[in-house]
Each structure stands twice: as structure tokens, then as C-alpha cells.
């Protein structure tokens, strides 16, 4: 099935999937905004805010990562090469996150 996809169709599939999966993070964003009035440290609203933003960040990073694969595929016309390069990008992002978590 992947061999019959073109980069354009794959991009549309990513956008549609991200939109459908984005319903939950957007709901969490609304919950975060509603919980703003209780942002004292240790309050339930504070923890809801943190978890809401985490879900949104994971959603955005996942969408960005998949979009870089299709963008690379579209630019080069080489799906296998795009997948290999995406592995290197993922490793770089994980190293950056590990370095940031050590501080």
C-alpha cells in the first residue's frame, strides 16, 4: 500500500489524521484555559494545566515528525531515504530532550 502512495496523498493523510487526533488535545487546551483561575502550585488546576500542555506538545511533535518524512519524500522522491533520514532526526530530537532533562 505504501508503494502506491504519492507524497501529496501522504501529506493529505497526515493532515486529516492530525486533525482527527487533534480533537482531544484541543479539548485539553480548552480545559487548560478554563483551569487558569486555579494555578496555585499544588492545586488540581495546576496539574491539569501541565498534563494538558504535555498532550498538546506530543500531538504537535508527532505531526511535525510525520510531516518532515513526507516533506523529505516529496523533495527527494525517495521514500526509503526519507525514512532513514527520519531515524536520524528522531535520534537528534531524543538527544536534545535528554540533554534538556538533565538540567
**Cα radius of gyration rounded to whole Å, the chain:** 18
CA distance 9 to 11: 5
Q: What is the pLDDT of residue 81?
A: 92
Contacting residues for 74 by C-beta, under 8 A, at least 6 apart: 7, 8, 11
Query: Tens digits of per-residue pLDDT, 44-91?
Result: 555 555 566 667 777 777 888 888 888 888 888 898 999 999 998 888
pTM (predicted TM-score): 0.59
For the chain, the distance separating the N- and C-terminal CA atoms, rounded to the nearest angstrom, is 44
Amino acid at each position: 500500500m505504501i508503494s502506491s502512495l504519492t507524497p501529496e496523498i501522504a501529506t493529505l493523510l497526515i493532515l486529516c489524521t492530525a486533525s482527527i487526533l487533534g480533537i482531544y488535545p484541543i479539548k485539553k487546551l480548552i480545559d487548560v484555559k478554563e483551569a487558569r483561575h486555579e494555578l496555585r502550585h499544588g492545586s488540581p488546576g495546576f496539574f491539569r494545566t501541565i498534563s494538558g500542555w504535555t498532550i498538546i506538545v506530543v500531538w504537535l511533535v508527532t505531526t511535525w515528525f510525520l510531516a518532515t518524512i513526507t516533506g523529505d519524500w516529496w523533495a527527494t522522491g525517495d521514500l526509503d531515504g526519507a525514512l532513514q533520514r527520519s531515524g536520524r532526526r528522531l535520534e537528534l530530537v531524543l538527544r536534545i530532550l535528554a540533554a534538556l532533562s538533565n538540567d
